[in-house]
Amino acid sequence: MIYSADKYAYFIIHRMLRLEEGERLTLHANEETIEFAHKVAHEAAESSGVTVSLVYIENGRVESVDEIAPSCREKKAKSDCLLNLASFTPSVFREDEELDAPSLQRHRLLSDPVFLDRRISFPYAVAYVPTAAWAQFIYGAGATADRLWLDLAEFLSLDDEDASSAEKILTQRAAVLNSLGIRSLQLEADNISLSADLADGARITTTAMNLNGRRFFCPSLPCEDLIFPVNFRSARGSFRSTYPFRLFDRVFDSASFTVKDGKIASASGIEPAYINRYMNIDERAAFAGEIILCESLTQPAKTDLAFGIPLLDRMRSSEVVFGGISPEAVTLDDETQLEASGLNTSFARLEVPVGSRQLSVAAKLSDGRTVSIFEDGVFALGI
């Protein structure tokens, strides 16, 4: 575990945050992540040359703040960035539970809110730290965090010092796809036949971010996704999941859905109490919000594990997303236009994996042409 932890600390600072010289890092940790947080803080301080603020938080309250200084002469801080070292929170499904924001967050079903007047202006990242509770969710009772450290290291390619970063390629692909003027998508494979119109007021994007065209970073890694915001009224067709996925406190190995006028019309392979409770969280939870495309030949695609954390699980496979959209995809400046643009602003979000090596996606363009953008599980058009 120690070896993987050292590699993971380096990975977070240099491949996720891409911490630069002179950047001042504020690091949030809790009781389960505080030991690892010290490794990350020292790595950050030595890399940036600026003192790191390590904030210890329990039950939503700041308990203490430690200052981790670099061993060399400190540089003048020129900018700020933020890192949250999160731990897995177990949850228990109850049909009568009030599904407010804290409970949805425990179930990993909370959508990021869309606040157009509060867009991100500094680098930030969220990294999850292996714990016994997380290991037991994945592997069963008695599992230890050591096993999870090993699987996470393989999933993230921590031991591959020559691993190339695909994040900038994804941003380039997004730019090419946005330039095409895509109006709708048609997904086809043995397990899926689904079409949807893209929403207005949004762009195709990826988890990787570029602030002001200069500061590149990844809020979460691995980053393999291209996100297509869809008009929540438009999805139609049927599909079957291809990887295990989490809903509330359970992992479901296979489920089938039919969608009509954007909304789940039927679902099988999931206990009715679970899917019905999700669909009734709010009036838009059962409507499609995004289609996410991920290639099927990546390192994350090789694992069948359901980590139970959407930011990780989505990188294994292309997905159909029900509920709220990714805020970074929105291009509007007026929140009153979200509904008219077809953007799903549900309080909840459920990501269902549908990717395979047979998946193909055709895009209908604004000029009437239809082009293939995804063939046999990989991007087409030479991108």
Distant-in-sequence, close-in-space partners of 218: CB < 8 Å, separation ≥ 6: 15, 16, 17, 18, 125, 167, 207, 208, 209
Q: Determine the pLDDT at residue 40.
A: 97
Q: Which residue has 């996410």 as its token pair?
A: 292
Both 145 and 271 in one domain: the answer is no
- What is the reported pLDDT for 239? 98
DSSP characters over 77-95? P-EEEEEEEE--------T
CA distance 105 to 260: 28
**pLDDT for residue 383:** 67
Q: What is the DSSP string of 135-154?
A: HHHHH-TT--HHHHHHHHHH
Q: What is the pLDDT of residues 48-100, one digit of tens each?
A: 999 999 999 988 889 999 999 999 888 989 999 999 999 998 899 998 889 99
Contacts of 298 (CB under 8 A, 6+ apart): 166, 222, 224, 315
Q: Do 123 and 260 fall into the same domain?
A: no
In the chain, which stretches have pLDDT less than 50? none
pLDDT at 89: 86
Nearest Cα to 275, choosing from 293, 263, 261, 291?
263
Question: How many other β-carbons are positioned within 10 Å of the β-carbon of residue 278?
Answer: 24
Model pLDDT, residue 27: 96
Whether 110 is in a domain gets the answer no
Structural domain boundaries, residue 128: 2-86+119-155
- pTM here is 0.93
**Amino acid 164: pLDDT:** 58
- Report the number of distinct structural domains present in the chain: 2
pLDDT score recorded for residue 3: 62
- In 3D space, the residue among 86, 78, 10 whose CA is nearest the CA of residue 44 turns out to be 10
> Hey, what's the torsion of the CAs at 301, 307, 312, 313, to 10 degrees?
50
298 is a domain residue: yes
Identify the burial level of 245 via C-beta atoms within 10 angstroms of its C-beta, where 0-12 means exposed, 13-18 middle and 19 or more buried: buried
Residues 227 and 323 in one domain: yes
| Residue 374 and residue 293 in contact, taking contact as beta carbons nearer than 8 Å | yes
pLDDT at position 2, please? 56
Do 372 and 280 lie in one domain? The reply is: yes
Same domain, yes or no: 140 and 217:
no
Do 354 and 207 lie in one domain? The reply is yes
Beta bridge partners of 187: 194, 361
Residue 128 and residue 22 in one domain = yes
Token digits of residue 230: 């869809």
